[in-house]
Amino acid sequence: MAVLSPREQLMSQLNDLTDEQITALLRYVETLQSDSLPPDYDPDKDPVLTGELRFSGPLDLSSRAKELFKAES
């Protein structure tokens, strides 16, 4: 049994993807190929993608926003 290269594996799975998945994949590929990312960018070290960057604040932001708006009126 022959071992498929990563390229061959990807090509064999493309036909099984939905149109939505293909669209998402195209966006991802375009991002990978774009020059907009710094040459030393490593998504494995991106704190937003790895979950290391956490946002703090109240979980009930919409309720608090309504209260603050009413208090200002």
Each residue of 4-43: pLDDT tens digit? 898 898 888 988 889 999 998 888 888 878 767 677 878 8
> What is the value of pTM for the model shown?
0.42
Residues 6+ apart with CB under 8 A from 44: 50
d(CA 49, CA 45): 8
d(CA 10, CA 21): 13
Residues 6+ apart with CB under 8 A from 37: 31
Domain spans of the chain, in order of start: 6-72
Q: How far is CA 20 from the centre of its chain?
A: 15
Find the radius of gyration of the CA atoms of the chain.
Answer: 21
